[in-house]
Each structure stands twice: as C-alpha cells, then as structure tokens.
Structure 1
Amino acid sequence: MDVKEISAGGVVYRKRGEQLELLIIEDRYMKISLPKGKQEPGETMEETALREVKEETGIDGRIVEPLEVIYYQYYHPQLGPINKEVHYYLVEAISGELVPQIEEINKVTWMSPEEAWRVQMSIGYENNHSVIDKAFTLLSLPKGK
C-alpha cells in the first residue's frame, strides 16, 4: 500500500533596510531545512504553507509566488515507505517574533543570503537546493559558490 503525504512550506525572507534576510531552520536531525508541514483537511496549499511557517517559526507571512513542488520518499517505522509531496512558496515575512517550535526544530535564524546559501549547500537537504535556487533567482540574489 502506497501512503502519500502532502505538505507545504516556504522560503521566508524579510527586508531590513537595504539588507534582505532569509529564515533558515535547523531541524532535530541537525540539518538545515525550510519550514513545512502536512496539509490539514479543508486547507489550500497556500494556507498550509503560511500556517506551518507560523507554527514552526512564529513568523506571519504572505505568499509571494509558488517556487516548486518536490517529491521524495522516506521510511516510517509503522507505515513503511511514504511518498512525500511538498509545495514550496516564496513567503515575505510581515510580522511576528522568532519562536522555534521545539518539538520539531532545534533553532530558527535570520541569515544573510550568502550565509543561507552556504549552510544550505553544505548541511541542507539536497532536495531543497533547487527550491533555494529558485527563491534566489526570484529575489535577484547572487548565488554562492
């Protein structure tokens, strides 16, 4: 039996004067990640993405535009292989204070684009590389080496 799980999340950014910053989370596996979570009944993908950003980071945002849908599989001890589909959006932070959801993530930090690119490429999930890449393109940010 194939189990499918649909989630949504975002690449969250804010402007501090001329400086743009990106919201990066470190998950409980010590990996760099993006806020995301499972869709609840009756929610649109956009609503799921914004709710998960708020729950995991404390930040209220607004959807700017869709980035990418990624697909991967992971193994669940009780259910076996899970086919995962994640819809990512570019999200502008509009308010809120950083409050990590400690059940799910270790920490949440605002980073310069250069730093966010560096940590994503070194200790981030590989399937998020293209998501970050698309966000950088849309925000006209220089990409790291």
Structure 2
Amino acid sequence: MQAPLRQFGHRLEGLDYQPRQAAYGFLQRDGYLAIAQIGYTRFSYDFPGGALDEGETPEAAVEREFAEETGLVVRVVEPVGEVLNYFVHQDGTPYNNHCRFYEMEWVAEQPELKSEADHELVWMRPFEAMKRVKHPAYAWALLLWLRERV
C-alpha cells in the first residue's frame, strides 16, 4: 500500500479546491538549476513545468512545459517524488495541485519553442533556488532530489 502524499499549502475557508495534475523538472548544468523567472517587473520563481493537458502523461507534460517556458528540449531521466499543494492560481482558481517532480537531462536548445512571454530561463545555485521558489512544496522536492545526489 502506498503511503499518502504529503500535503503542502494552506486550505482557505470557503474555497472549493479543484484537483489538478502537474509536473515539474530539475535540470542541472555546471552546478546551476534551470529556473523559470515569471513576470515582467515583479518576479516569482518556479521550476519549469505545469499542468497536464488532457490525455497527457506527467513525463510528456514536463518536457512540453520546459520547451514552452525556457526554449530547452529536455528528457525525463527519473522521477524524484510527488506532493499535494494547495494554492490559488493567478486566475483566481483554487487548486490542490498533485505535483510530480522529475530529474531532467538536456537535449538541445531551441528558442523558437518558447511560447510563454512572461517566463524567462535563469540559472540559480540549488540553495538560492530553494529559497526563491514560490511554493515550499517545491523546495521540499528539491531537497529530496539533492539528498540523493550527494
């Protein structure tokens, strides 16, 4: 029997949280992690990834999202872990995000694949990324991944 997933975030009274499936990736190069810097003047930081499209696997979703957000073509190496995370999307929809995290490998750079204008690829040291990512659940998943790499 599989243990229940760890729940992150705070459930706000009166909101109806919709289930949402999502996948995110950790890509490291030369000691730095690929991070999506989101916004135009005030920035938030996230690991490349996002919601699954209908019928899409988590692995296909994280590879697609990497391309759309960063212009990088990547491939899933292995799963890292998964959590649940309450959050309210920028459009106002409350979700309980079922987040899956994957270690990724670099395949190619194809800037023409980038389609999300408010996302920019930046590279951060892992500890800096852990401090800056917008959800504690994502920092927790990064810590799990880093512990396996040392």
TM-score w.r.t. length of structure 1: 0.75
8 Å Cα contact 1:32/1:120 also seen in 2: no
Relative to structure 1, the CA distance from residue 90 to residue 76 in structure 2 (aligned partners, 3 Å threshold; closer, same or farther) is: closer
Structure 1: where are the runs of 5+ without partners?
A: 141-145
Match of 1:51 in 2: 64
Deviation string, structure 1 residues 52-72 (Cα, Å, up to 9, x no partner): 111111111111111121211
From the superposition, tell whether residues 62 and 79 of structure 1 become closer, same or farther in structure 2 (CA, over 3 Å): same
What is the DSSP-based 3-state SS (H/G/I as helix, E as strand, rest coil) of the residue aligned with 1:54?
helix
The structure carrying a bigger strand percent of its residues is: 1
Contact kept in structure 2, 1:75 and 1:81, CA below 8 Å: yes
**Against the structure 1 CA distance between its residues 60 and 6, is the aligned structure 2 distance closer, same or farther, given a 3 Å change threshold?**
same
1:63 aligned to 2:47? no
Q: SS of the residue aligned with 2:34?
A: strand
The answer on whether the counterparts of 2:47 and 2:133 sit within 8 Å (CA) in structure 1 is no
Q: State the match for 2:133 in structure 1.
A: 124
Q: What letter matches 1:124 in structure 2? A: V
Identity of aligned residues (%): 21
Which amino acid is 1:138 matched to?
E
Separation in 1, partners of 2:97, 2:90: 15
Normalised by the length of structure 2, the TM-score is 0.72
Matched, 1:37 2:37: no
Name the structure 2 match of 1:143.
none
Answer yes or no: is 1:7 the counterpart of 2:22: yes
In structure 2, the gaps of 5 or more residues are: 1-15
Q: How many residues matched? A: 131
Q: How far 1:24 moved relative to its partner?
A: 1.5
Considering only aligned residues, what root-mean-square deviation do their CA atoms show, in Å?
2.5
Deviations 1:71-93 (A, max 9, x none): 11223587753221111101011
